Structures are given as structure tokens and as C-alpha cells.
Structure 1
Amino acid sequence: MGRFTTFRFCLDPNVEQEVVLRRHAGAARFGYNQCLRLVKQALDGKRGGTVSKVPWSGFDLINEFNAWKRSAAAGRVLVAAADGTTTVQATGLAWRAEVCQQVFEEAAVDLGRGLAAYTASRNGDRRGRRIGFPRFKSKKRAQLSFRIRSKTSAAGKAGIRIGGHGPRTVTLPGIGTIAVREDTRRLRRMLAKGRAKVLSATVSRRAGRWAVSLTCEAADLHDTARHQPDSGTTWVGVDRGLAAFVVAGRADGTEAARVADWPRPSRTGMARQRRLARAVTRKPPGSRNRAKATARLGRHHGRIAAIRSRFLHKVSNKLVKTHDKLAIETLAITGMLTNRRLAAAVADAAWGELARQITYKQQWRGGHLTSVDRWYPSTKTCAPCRTVNPSMPLEQRTFTCGACGYQADRDLNAAVNLAIWAEQHHPQIRDLHAGGPVTKARRGEGSGPRTRAGETSPNDAGTAPTSPRVRSGRPRRALSHDSTEL
């Protein structure tokens, strides 16, 4: 097993199954909120000196929730005896047996990740925007979703099964067999041949549809689908833009690929989006008509996201399948979104998602990918003579060198310069998943092994804590990218 991948199928549940799915999603939200409530109570107790330890990792939160759900704080009844005396009997969470227990555990794991991100952001170990303290999930606004791990029984039967009661079915523990709309043939073949193993299933409801995402640990791609080592090919620079979505060029000045027409889904559907948004605001809050109008607006956003995702996968597959050495520029997309003239177009292009897809797909196929510094003037540099022009406005689509008179397409010249940069620097091949060279990580101090039946160890929960790297001060924010690079 050499990679992790996800298979997503659209579910087709009946009325009874949809009730069960909603019950599990509500249980996940309840478990998350209760774990967060326990954390806040522990923080208040620590300030008062009554509590010495605050549950912070996912493993500790699971143990705290398991102890709470059986206590009198979760549920209790008064029992009257024959002699007239009454006693309080702890029943715990009465409805906990109606849902799969892994839903509560995975909700605690999610909260543990949020707390870890909050701590890393405060200590300066996390880049990007400042991460705030986790908040409670609203019953009305929270997304309906939950996650279940795949466990193997003593008889060797997996908890999550695909195609057990038909070619288009998925069986989930505690829920049963649900029909899916897509064909599961590819995943069933991989499971039958031992080339894949289902780790977890995430069920979510978006745009009025239920979907299941199966996270799998799969074997490497076949040798015929992977790039051959030491093929002798040259680097190909990939320039992302708005006029031409993607332009790829080699160091010798030849154009390798060009994607000029892109769907622009957000701009194309903006008229309909405004009309649906106005329909929502005209309905009284809390009415059924407002709920129906909100659902229509949500389905529109889901369609826009589906169009964009399909196009990005198509472009990334085209680049990765045909080129084994790619050089892509790191863009400060967050800074570009502050430009009110270009923010809508930049967000519609989803350059960050395209770079993410190229990164993991290139690793799957055994190719090489290097990131060029965002301050490298690829657009303003002449490819033949390496002269840097003082300025390059957006309306100028043809690059003209003032020193040698070289003329070329603006985007192609930038792609060629990216390829030249990769050829000159010969970057060290890096582990794309780790984001750097492979290093031996030291195991952190966990919360201890499993001690009682029904508890989950740190390895099972996937939240074994590691020792964070403490660094004084906060990292400096990256400045906004120069708009001339578009």
C-alpha cells in the first residue's frame, strides 16, 4: 500500500434510511458540542484550582466522553421503593445505543484536531491566518455529516463493505445497506485483488444530496501508468492565469500545453445566484418557503462547485499524465483576494485547488514537482537574454524585451521562465506528502495504552499527540502577490 485515495458515491437512501442518517449526523454534532463543553468546564476548573488536567487530545476527549455518557450527568431517573423512599439511579445517555458509537469518537477526534490547530497557531507553529478557539455547532447551520471507521470482526469481515448486496450498494456499520447511484466496479475490483483497504467512511449531505466518501489505502499505480525514472525529459513550467487558465512551456521556448477556454462557473451562474438569493431574502425568516428557497440556492452552489471540480481534475490529469517534471509557481492567493477588481475571478479559478491536485497526482505517478518562489519575476523576465523589464501591466498580453527585441505571448514567456528556473536550480526531490525531505520523526508521548474495554487507543483514534515545535514569536505574513504576474 503506497497511497491514500478517496472514492465518493452519491447515496440513494429511502425514507427510513434518511432518518437514520440524520440521527447519526445529529449524534456527531451532539458529541462534538459535549466534548467542547467538557473542555470549557475543565478550563474553568483549572482556573479555580479544582482540576489539574484538561482533555485536549482526541484520545483524552474520547475517554472523557465515554465516562460522561454513563454518568448521572448525562441521564438519571428517580426510583421509588415500596417503603416510600426514592433513590437516584444513573442511566447515562439513554439514546446512545441507537447510533454507532464510532460517531461520538470521531467527533471527539475532530475537536482534538481543532484544539491542536488552535494551539499551534498561538505558538507560531502554524502558517496562515490566526486559528480561533473551537465554537459550538449550531443545530440549524451545522452541516449534516459524520464519519465511521472500518473495523474487521473476529471472523475477518469488514465493517464497511461495498457491493455486498448488489453492485451499487454500500454497507455501513450501525446503518445497514444503502443504494448508491454510481457504479462501484473499480473499487470492488481493487478490494477483491487486495490492492485497496477501506479505512473510513464520511457521510455528508450537501446541496440536497447524501454522499459517502470512502477513504482507502491503495497500492501504487501500475507501472504502465507511472513515469519512468531517468527518462531524460526536460522540465515544464506551468503558468496559471485568467485570460488563459493554464499555459505550459519548456526551457527551449516551445509550448507544451495551453488551456485557454475555462468554464468560469461562478461568473456564468452569477445572474441565477442573485435571483435565488433575492428570493431567499424576500421570504419570512423561519418559514417553509424560506427553507425551500434556501435549498434551491444551495443546490445552485453545489452545481457550481461540481463544474469547477470536474474541470480542475480534467486539467490536472492532462498535465500529470503527459509530463513527469513540472515547475509551478507558489502564488499568494490570499493576498490576491484583497484586490476588489480581481477577487471574484481569482476565487473562481481556484488556483490553490489545482496546485493541490497536481501535487498528489504527480506523486502517485512517480513524477517530480518543484515550487518556484513567488517573488521570481517570471512574467517580466526575457527568456533568451534574462533581462527584467521594469513593469508589465495586465492589459499588455505580449511580452516585448527592450534589450534584444524578443516578443512572445505573455503567459508562454512566464511558463518558459519557470522551466528555466527549474533547470538551473536542480531542486532536491522532496516528499510531497510531508512537504519537505524525508526525516525520521520521533514518537511523541501519548496518553497511554488501552486500559479498559470499550476505550480507544491513540493509534485507533488517529490522534496520537506529538511534541510540537516551539518557536518564539509569530511568523511574518506573506505580502500580497504582484498583480502583474496574472
Structure 2
Amino acid sequence: MARFTTFRFTVNPTAEQETVLRRHAGAARFGYNQCLRLVKQALDGKQCGVGGKVPWSGFDLINAFNAWKHSADAGRLMVASADGTITVAVTGLAWRSQVHQQVFEEAAVDLGRGLAAYTASRSGARKGQRAGFPRFKSKKRAPLSFRIRCKTSATGRANIRVGEHTPRTVTMPALGTLAVREDTRRLRRMLAKGRAKIVSATVGHHAGRWAVSLTCEAAELNDAARHQPATSGTGWVGIDRGLTAFIVAARADGTEAGRVDDWPRPSRAGMARQRRLARDVTRKQRGSNNRAKAAARLGRHHARVAATRRRFLHKVSNELVKTHDRLAIETLTITGMMRNRRLAAAVADAAWGELGRLLTYKQQWRGGHLTPVDRWYPSTKTCARCRTVAPAMPLDQRTFVCGACGYQADRDHNAAVNLAIWAEQHHAQIRDLHAGGPVINARRGEGSGPRTRAGETSPDDAGTAPNPPGARRGRPRRALSHNSTEL
């Protein structure tokens, strides 16, 4: 098993099953809020000088919640006997047996991740936008979602099964057998052949539909679907992302490898309907059922737009990673581009960041390489023939004209060629997708050293081998570093 992937199926629950699903989603929200309440109470006790450990990790939060749910604070009854005496009976959380136990545990794990992100953001260890302290989940606004881990019994039977009774079903503990709309044949074959195993199942409600996402640990793709070792004749393909042409792919020699001009622009295409539905929401009285129905219609429209964009991005990324083993993609400052009020809507509709994410992990699955080009590399205004950097080009100038050699080319095509040239010049620093750094091949394979077997480390690999006869003593040989060019 080498990669994680997700299979998403739309659920068609019965009326009784939907009640159980909503009960589990409410339990997950309750467990998250209660764990956060325990954290805040412990922090307040710390500030008041009262001792005690503040539960911060997912493991500590699970233990704190389990201790709370059996305590009198979670539930108690006043029992009156025949002689008039009243005693207190501790019941704990009385309804906890109506939902699966893992729902509370996974909610505590989610809160632990949020607290860890908050700590890392404050210390500077976390990049990107600063993460704030977790907040309580609202009963009205929080999305309905919960997660259950897959466990295997001693007999080898998993508690999350696919296609057990009929092909289009998913069986989960405490929920029973749920009917799904999509075909589960591909996942069932992978599970039957041992090429995948289910790790967890996340059930969520979005835009009026229930869906289950099965996170699986799957084996690597078949060798026929993976890229073969690159030969000397294989070159890099630069990918330029734009708004007029969605992508333009070209090689360093100037040949165009692909172009997508007609992209759906789902947000702009549905803007008229979105405005009409948004007006319907604002015209309804706050808190009324008609307003809730209008908001649901607007939510379904947004979900349809997102699904259209997601399908298109997967189609484009699949085509690129299947046909090219070396891709060079420009590094864009999308957050800065979104500050331009004239381009913000178009940039958001293009979803360039999501396309880069899809290309990254799909190229890794297929054994290819994807290198990000330096952000400050002037790919648009550099001549692909004589390498002369021209002055700044306005957005309305769609043709690049070199003032030095007279070279003319499409603006996006010239940028894609320059991206491929940059990758060719920096081909020695191919990034290792698993290690996150350049490939240095500094360590030999398993069992390749003297008197070693597979799985063992030779003395040469460990750096403890004695000097061979005739070797120069003194300062040891310098090892290759990640920045070395001796590759």
C-alpha cells in the first residue's frame, strides 16, 4: 500500500436511516463542542491558579470526554424512595448508546487538529493564513458530517463493507446497509484483490444530498499506467495557466503539446441564476420556512457550479499526467491576484490552485515529475528564441513581439515554452515527490553493500566502514548535499 485515495458515493437513505444519520451528525457536533468546552474550562482553571492538565491532543481529548460522559455533569437523576429520602443517581450521557462510539472520538481528533494548527500558527511553524482558536459549532449553520473508522475483527471481517448484499450498497456499523447511486464495481474489485483497504468513512450532507466518502489505502497504479523511466530524448512540458486560454502546454523546442481554449467558466455561466436565487432569499422573511427553502435552492446551485468545475479540472489534469511525465508549472500568487477587483471573479472561477494540487498528487501516483518554476521568473515577457526580456506586457496584448530578434508568438504559448526551457536548465534539481527535496541518489539500494541482506544497512551506508587499504587518512570524504550539483 503506497497511496491514499477516496471513493465518494451519493446515498439514498430511507426515512428511518436519515433520522439515524442526522442523529450521528448531531452527536459529532455535540462531542466537538463538549471537548472544546472542557478545554476552555481547563484553561480558565489554569488562569485562576487551579492545577490540572489542559487536554490538547486528540488522545487527551478522547480520555477527557470519556471521563466526562460517565460523570454526574453529563447526566444525573433525582430518585425518591418510599420513605421520602432522595438520592442522586449518576446516569452519565444517557443517549450515548444510540450512536456509534467512534463518532465522539473522531470529533475529539478533529478538535485536536484544530488546536495543533492554532499552536503551530502562533509559533510560526505553520505557513499560510493564520489559524485562529477553534470555535463552537452552530446547530443551524454547521454542516452535518461525521466519521467512522474501519476496524477488522479477528475473523477478518471489516465493519465497513461495500456491495455486501447488492452491488450498490455500503454497510456501516450502527447505520446498517445504505443504498448508493454510483457503481461500486471498481472499489469492490480492488478490495477483493487486496489492492485496497478502507481506512475510514465520512458521511456528510450537502446541498440536500447525503454522501459517503470512503478513504482507502490503495496500492500503486499498475505499471502500464505509470510513466516509464525518462530517456534522454524526453523533454519537459511547460504549462501556462490563463483566463483567455485555460492552459497552454508546450515543449522547449517550441512545439505545442496541448491547449484548452473553451473552458466552461461555470461561475460566470450561472451568475444570472445565482443573482435571481440570491434575491429570492433576501426577499423572504428571516426565520421563515420559505427563506429556508430559498436558501436550499441557492445552495444546490452553488453545489452544481462546484461539481461542474471539479469535473473539468479532473478531466484536464488526467489528460496532462497521462501524456507527459515531466511537467513544469508556474508558481502564481493567487491571493494577490484576487485583490484585483476586475480579475478576482475570473481568477476564482478558474481555480488555478486546485488544478496545481490535482497535478501534484496525480503525477506522483504515476511516477512522473512536476517542478514548480520560480515565482519571479519572467516567463511572459521573455523571448523564447533569443532570451531577451521585454518591458512589461499589458493584459490586452495577446501577441508577444520581441524587439531584439523580431520573434512573434502567442502570449500564452511563449510563456509555456519559457517554462519548459527553465525546467530544462534546472533539470538536475528534479524534486523527489516523496521526500520533498531534490533527488540526490546518495544512498545505495537495499542489500547492495558487502555482507548485507535486503532490509539491512551496510557499514558503508552507515558511514562506519574502516578505511580500505591504501586509502588516505584524515578528513573524511565530503558527502553530497541537497544543494550539490554533482549528480
TM-score, normalization by structure 1: 0.89
Separation of aligned partners in 2, 1:431 and 1:16: 50
The one-character-per-residue Cα deviations of 1:242-279 (angstroms, maximum 9, x if unpaired) are 00000001000110000011000000000000000000
The one-character-per-residue Cα deviations of 1:412-434 (angstroms, maximum 9, x if unpaired) are 11011110011001253434356
Match of 2:354 in 1: 353
Contact (CA 8 Å) 1:251, 1:416: kept in 2 or not?
A: yes
Match of 2:90 in 1: 90
Match of 2:392 in 1: 391
Separation of aligned partners in 2, 1:226 and 1:237: 20
Separation of aligned partners in 1, 2:439 and 2:37: 39
Structure 1 residues 274-283 or 52-61, which shifts more?
52-61
Contact (CA 8 Å) 1:283, 1:290: kept in 2 or not?
A: yes
Specify every segment of 5 or more residues in structure 1 that has no aligned partner in the other structure, as ranges: 440-486
Match of 1:461 in 2: none
Question: Secondary structure of 2:429's match?
Answer: coil
Match of 1:7 in 2: 7
Separation of aligned partners in 2, 1:373 and 1:192: 45
Match of 1:41 in 2: 41
Separation of aligned partners in 1, 2:364 and 2:417: 23
The one-character-per-residue Cα deviations of 1:441-464 (angstroms, maximum 9, x if unpaired) are xxxxxxxxxxxxxxxxxxxxxxxx
Match of 1:319 in 2: 320
Separation of aligned partners in 1, 2:418 and 2:17: 56
Structure 1 residues 150-159 or 353-362, which shifts more?
150-159
Contact (CA 8 Å) 2:46, 2:52: kept in 1 or not?
A: yes
Match of 2:99 in 1: 99
Contact (CA 8 Å) 1:244, 1:258: kept in 2 or not?
A: yes
Residues 365-380 of structure 1 aligned to structure 2 (within 5 Å):
365-380=366-381
Separation of aligned partners in 2, 1:35 and 1:436: 38
Separation of aligned partners in 1, 2:424 and 2:323: 18
Separation of aligned partners in 2, 1:95 and 1:368: 52
Residues 44-123 of structure 1 aligned to structure 2 (within 5 Å):
44-123=44-123
Separation of aligned partners in 1, 2:410 and 2:384: 11
Point out 4+ residue stretches in structure 1 off by more than 4 angstroms.
Answer: none
Match of 2:479 in 1: none
Question: Secondary structure of 2:403's match?
Answer: coil
Deviation at 1:230? 2.6
RMSD: 1.2
Task: Name the aligned partner's letter for residue 288 of structure 2.
Answer: S
Contact (CA 8 Å) 2:203, 2:213: kept in 1 or not?
A: yes
Task: Name the aligned partner's letter for residue 103 of structure 1.
Answer: V
Match of 2:177 in 1: 177
Match of 1:163 in 2: 163
Question: Secondary structure of 1:95's match?
Answer: helix
Task: Name the aligned partner's letter for residue 375 of structure 1.
Answer: W
Deviation at 1:51? 2.8
Question: Secondary structure of 2:431's match?
Answer: coil
Separation of aligned partners in 2, 1:50 and 1:248: 63
Task: Name the aligned partner's letter for residue 9 of structure 1.
Answer: F
User: Whose Rg is larger?
Assistant: 2
Separation of aligned partners in 2, 1:428 and 1:94: 60
**Is the alpha carbon distance of 1:433 and 1:7 closer, same or farther for their aligned partners in structure 2, counting shifts above 3 Å?**
farther
Residue 216 (structure 2) pairs with residue 216 (structure 1): yes
Separation of aligned partners in 2, 1:437 and 1:34: 45
Residues 388-427 of structure 1 aligned to structure 2 (within 5 Å):
388-427=389-428
Q: How many percent of aligned residue pairs carry the same amino acid?
A: 80
Separation of aligned partners in 2, 1:432 and 1:217: 18
Contact (CA 8 Å) 1:360, 1:433: kept in 2 or not?
A: no
Contact (CA 8 Å) 2:237, 2:257: kept in 1 or not?
A: yes
Contact (CA 8 Å) 1:370, 1:427: kept in 2 or not?
A: no
Deviation at 1:53? 1.6
Question: Secondary structure of 2:420's match?
Answer: helix
Contact (CA 8 Å) 1:12, 1:181: kept in 2 or not?
A: yes
Separation of aligned partners in 2, 1:82 and 1:179: 52
Residues 168-247 of structure 1 aligned to structure 2 (within 5 Å):
168-232=168-232, 233-247=234-248
Task: Name the aligned partner's letter for residue 358 of structure 2.
Answer: Q
**Is the alpha carbon distance of 1:54 and 1:433 closer, same or farther for their aligned partners in structure 2, counting shifts above 3 Å?**
farther
The one-character-per-residue Cα deviations of 1:173-209 (angstroms, maximum 9, x if unpaired) are 1111000001100000000000000000011111111
Question: Secondary structure of 2:259's match?
Answer: strand
Separation of aligned partners in 2, 1:434 and 1:198: 25
Question: Secondary structure of 2:214's match?
Answer: strand
Question: Secondary structure of 1:147's match?
Answer: strand
Specify every segment of 5 or more residues in structure 2 that has no aligned partner in the other structure, as ranges: 441-487
**Is the alpha carbon distance of 1:437 and 1:30 closer, same or farther for their aligned partners in structure 2, counting shifts above 3 Å?**
farther
Separation of aligned partners in 2, 1:124 and 1:435: 20
Task: Name the aligned partner's letter for residue 188 of structure 1.
Answer: R
Question: Secondary structure of 1:327's match?
Answer: strand
Separation of aligned partners in 2, 1:427 and 1:350: 30
Separation of aligned partners in 2, 1:427 and 1:174: 54
Contact (CA 8 Å) 1:191, 1:197: kept in 2 or not?
A: yes
Aligned residues: 439
Task: Name the aligned partner's letter for residue 238 of structure 1.
Answer: I
Task: Name the aligned partner's letter for residue 342 of structure 2.
Answer: R
Separation of aligned partners in 2, 1:175 and 1:154: 21
Question: Secondary structure of 2:276's match?
Answer: helix
Task: Name the aligned partner's letter for residue 322 of structure 1.
Answer: T
Task: Name the aligned partner's letter for residue 255 of structure 1.
Answer: E
Separation of aligned partners in 2, 1:98 and 1:421: 60
The one-character-per-residue Cα deviations of 1:93-134 (angstroms, maximum 9, x if unpaired) are 010000011111111111111111111111111111111111
Separation of aligned partners in 1, 2:85 and 2:346: 72
Separation of aligned partners in 1, 2:112 and 2:435: 21
Deviation at 1:435? 3.9
Separation of aligned partners in 2, 1:394 and 1:416: 19
Separation of aligned partners in 2, 1:435 and 1:204: 33
Question: Secondary structure of 1:88's match?
Answer: strand
Match of 1:471 in 2: none
Structure 1 residues 230-239 or 366-375, which shifts more?
230-239
**Is the alpha carbon distance of 1:352 and 1:57 closer, same or farther for their aligned partners in structure 2, counting shifts above 3 Å?**
same
The one-character-per-residue Cα deviations of 1:286-316 (angstroms, maximum 9, x if unpaired) are 1111111011001000000000000000000
Separation of aligned partners in 1, 2:200 and 2:435: 22
Separation of aligned partners in 2, 1:212 and 1:168: 12
Structure 1 residues 47-56 or 302-311, which shifts more?
47-56
Residue 326 (structure 2) pairs with residue 328 (structure 1): no
Deviation at 1:87? 1.6
Deviation at 1:392? 0.6
Separation of aligned partners in 2, 1:386 and 1:15: 67
**Is the alpha carbon distance of 1:123 and 1:85 closer, same or farther for their aligned partners in structure 2, counting shifts above 3 Å?**
same
